Structure 1
Amino acid sequence: MGKNKNSDTRTRRQFLKGLVGTAAFTIVPRHVLGKGFTAPSDQLNIAVIGAGGKGYSDAINAYNGGANRIAAICDVDWHSARALFEQFPKAQRFKDHRVMFDTVRDIDAVTISTPDHTHAVLAMAAIKRGKHVYVQKPMAHNIAEVRALTEAARRNRVVTQMGNQGASGLGVKLMQWWFDAGRIGRVHKVEVWTDRPVWPQGIATPTERVAPIDGLAWDHWIGPAPAVDYHPSYHPFKWRGWWDYGTGALGDMGCHLIDPPFRVLGLDRVLAVESSVVSLYSRDWEPDYYPKSCPAASTTQYTFAATEKNPQPVELIWTDGGMRPFRPALIPADHPLGDNDSRNGAMLWGEKGVMTCGLYGMHPKLYLNSGEVIIADNSKLQSELPENGHQRAWTQACKAGFGSSAHRNLSASFDYAGRLTETVLLGNLGVRSYELRVTDGEHYRNPGRQKLLWDDAAMRVSNFEPANQFVAREYRKGWTL
């Protein structure tokens, strides 16, 4: 296969200089550049909405060792929030975000780390009050919400960031640099895969009555979704596998794994999506049908328009459920694809070779037609940007203000994250349409098993009207954007 390099031979200074000169969405965090930044205020007063799991680390990273203040913590389940309560005993505690906003008047910024179905209503509540917003991926539960949040953030001049932290990593920067230098030429195909779901999917809706967790504000957890009784199949964590609350494997991992090729190629406009979904059988001949549960495995093909950076259409194929693409001839038989264990990754097929990466853009590699192989030093890339760099860049931009260079250089503000999230959620239009059934009483057919043509300006599928029911949702009474 030719020469195998453990890392690019350029110096770190040359690397960063090269990135600044060539990458369309490049940021270099201030903690990498060092001196020269003075915030207009010393501390942000931060409210945390969703304090367990990822919410805990988002809060700690935004707190940044005392550079900012955790003023309020809001969670419907105080048991899951216990660790953060103990860490910040002086922070005011709430279960209802509306009460929190009415009570704590000095909030500057909000982190939102809740189930997908409440991202938009919580983020919009903060934006309308002029609060800066950090929201976990995916940015919202459906495409209409994404558009509304993007426009509201601009209109209210607030600083935003989505929680796909790999977007701020140097692995993605290196991939941008390689592509902009013409290392693999024009790209015609991208393959992206994940081992998710790692939670139950493709299952029947629970019917038994279960007592709620003590102290859980279940009605507020349901939020804008249709009312149901509490069940441990929904909370905690397993909500990801239900369409009313989560967005499936694609919604969970797409913003991480599609981001590197999306950013590197300057992708934007999706022309069409087509999905295929696995069938599961618990009885003879008749496949199981659980329309409220996301499928156990699926694959989706996106067709992207040509871009200035990559002047030809691109086919992007997403696969979840533990399946992955096969190894191109350029990649040796014993080399992993994407991650070191091949469970997650992205692969860009170009005229001159193949570029790959793992989750968060880590483990970037080049396999060129010339026989050259370049494997980046992953440990060095990781050490260059600590995990909290993504949140730290956001808090610094909040201090610098809307429209500042710090704000413009964020890697996942809603102006960028909105288009990425729309792309991810468009795939779910294909997945959900594929499973739609029309019945005559004895037999059924699946009319959505076709390529869906997307009208971006009108925000609708132009050739299969039933798919448009998933572009937006009706909110439960008492909830609104």
Structure 2
Amino acid sequence: MSRAKISRRNFLASAALSAVSWSRIYGASTKLRVAAVGVGGKGWSDLTSVAASPHVEVVALCDVDESEKHLGRAAMKFPHTRRFSDWRKLLDTAKEFDALIVATPDHMHAPVSLPALQLGKHVYCEKPLSHSVFEARQMSLAAKKYKLVTQMGNQIQSHSYYRTAVKLIHEGAIGKVKEVHSWQSGALSWLLADDRPAGADSIPAGLNWDGWLGVAPERPYKKTIYHSFNWRGWQDFSNGQLGDFGCHILDPVFMA
């Protein structure tokens, strides 16, 4: 499939993958077959945490980076899985798995998750849920339409001290809260991103750079600039500081 055919506009406008009804009832001895897209970084911790459950079988792995920090490491951990560098080819095998973990850069959350939902797959997608409000609404509608189990990964929200703080506010321990100010600081290198860097570097062996860009506008590969962490400093790929930390520091406010 050409890059033009997977542009954000074309993808969200068509969303034409045929859906299947989800009516499988799991028995006590049936394991949930899980596939994962994005298995480095946070995707790795998501995958290994899920795999620790005796009710889960990891059956497929997908990552645009075949290096030892990404697909290579996951393949060693789960040697009997099928491996892909293109998420579309993974979805072609949809009959072979029941649920999908999505831990790609932000701009690919909806392009991967939405067709998976339309194929009747339960989805665990990392935060921020999508790259735009429109995408998030489409994902929510799909989950409701096909009656699927979904969750957005937001690990800090799971900590007990968050829930304790919310409980204290509910009980009036600090009186009536009328206003909350939140901020995030830190010397993260991606906060310094300004103009797009000039020039291009050689694409490393095993990295599907076109697949990494996905629905984002084409740009040359630059070593250490985008993959595998600093992409958060670029709007084409990320929702920035608000998308990365906003859900952590603002979530208790909404819970309370």
Assess same fold via TM > 0.5.
yes
Q: 1:60 pairs with 32, 48, 51, which one?
A: 48
Q: Residue in 2 aligned with 1:229?
A: 220
Query: Deviations for 1:144-167, whole angstroms, at most 9, x for unmatched residues?
Result: 111111111111111111110232
What amino acid maps onto 1:123 in structure 2?
S
Please say if residues 94 and 119 of structure 2, whose CA atoms lie closer than 8 Å, have aligned partners that are also in contact. no
Paired residue for 2:197? 206
Q: Which amino acid aligns with 2:120?
A: G
C-alpha distance in structure 1 between counterparts of 2:193 and 2:210, whole Å: 25
> 1:377 maps to what in 2?
none
Counting aligned pairs with the same residue, the percent is 38
CA distance in 1, matches of 2:220, 2:193: 20
CA contact (8 A) 2:125 2:153 kept: yes
Given that 1:119 and 1:141 are in contact with CA atoms closer than 8 Å, whether structure 2 keeps it comes out as: yes
Structure 1 residue 87: Cα displacement: 0.3
Structure 1 residue 161 and structure 2 residue 155: aligned? no
Give me the whole-angstrom Cα distance separating, in 2, the residues matched to 1:123 and 1:176.
Answer: 31
Pairing of 1:76-475 with structure 2 (within 5 A): 76-79=64-67, 80-196=70-186, 198-200=188-190, 201-232=192-223, 233-264=225-256
Deviations 1:158-203 (A, max 9, x none): 1111110232332222122212212122211112122246123342
Q: Residue 43 of structure 1 aligns with which residue? A: 31
**Equivalent residue of 1:258, what SS?**
helix
Partner SS for 2:182: strand
Contact 2:234 2:240 in 1 (8 A): yes
1:104 and 1:147 map into 2 onto residues whose CA distance is 23
SS for the counterpart of 2:207 is coil
CA distance in structure 2 between the partners assigned to 1:143 and 1:104 by the alignment:
27
Q: Post-superposition, which runs of at least 4 consecutive aligned residues in structure 1 deviate over 6 A?
A: none
Select between 70-79 and 210-219 the one with higher mean Cα deviation.
Answer: 210-219
Structure 1: distance between partners of 2:187 and 2:72: 27
Aligned residues: 227
Secondary structure at the counterpart of residue 30 of structure 2: coil
Contact 1:196 1:249 in 2 (8 A): no
SS in 1 for 2:45: helix
* 1:184 maps to amino acid: I
Decide whether aligned partners of structure 1 residues 39 and 162 sit closer, same or farther in structure 2, where only a CA change above 3 A counts.
farther
| C-alpha contact 1:197 1:249 (8 A) present in aligned 2 | no
Quote how far apart the aligned CAs of 1:228 are. Answer: 1.2
Aligned AA (2:197): P
State how far apart, in whole Å, the 2-side matches of 1:75 and 1:111 are.
12
SS, match of residue 210 in structure 1:
coil
Distance (whole Å) between structure 1 residues aligned to residue 241 and residue 187 of structure 2: 5
TM-score, normalising length from structure 1? Answer: 0.46
- Contact 1:240 / 1:247 at 8 angstroms: preserved in 2? yes
**CA distance 1:153–1:133, shift in 2 (3 Å):** same
The one-character-per-residue Cα deviations of 1:200-234 (angstroms, maximum 9, x if unpaired) are: 33422112121111121111111111111112211
Amino acid at match of 2:203: P
Q: Which AA in structure 1 matches 2:39?
A: A
2:63 is aligned to 75
| Displacement of 1:39 | 6.4
Which stretches in structure 2 are left out of the alignment for 5+ residues? Answer: 1-25
Please identify which structure carries the higher helix content.
Answer: 2
Gap runs ≥5 in structure 1: 1-37, 265-481
| Structure with the greater alpha carbon radius of gyration | 1
TM-score (norm: length of structure 2): 0.84
Query: Tell me, what secondary structure is at the counterpart of 2:52?
Result: helix
Structure 1 position 65, deviation (Å): 4.6
The answer for the alignment partner of 2:13 in structure 1 is none
Structure-2 separation of matches of 1:251 and 1:177: 25
Paired residues of 1:123 and 1:149 also in contact (CA < 8 A)? yes
State the AA in 1 paired with 2:233: G
2:5: which partner in 1? none
> Counterpart of 1:327?
none
Answer whether contact 2:109 2:129 (CA < 8 A) is retained: yes
1:108–1:178 Cα change, 3 Å? same
Instruction: Tell me if structure 2 keeps the 8 A contact 1:46–1:72.
Output: yes
Equivalent residue number for residue 464 of structure 1: none
3-state SS, counterpart of residue 95 of structure 2: coil
Instruction: Please say which of residues 157-166 and 96-105 is displaced more in the overlay.
Output: 96-105
Distance of 2:120 and 2:145 partners within structure 1? 10
Which structure has greater strand proportion? 1
Letter in 1 for 2:158: S
**Once superposed, what is the RMSD of the aligned Cα atoms?**
1.7
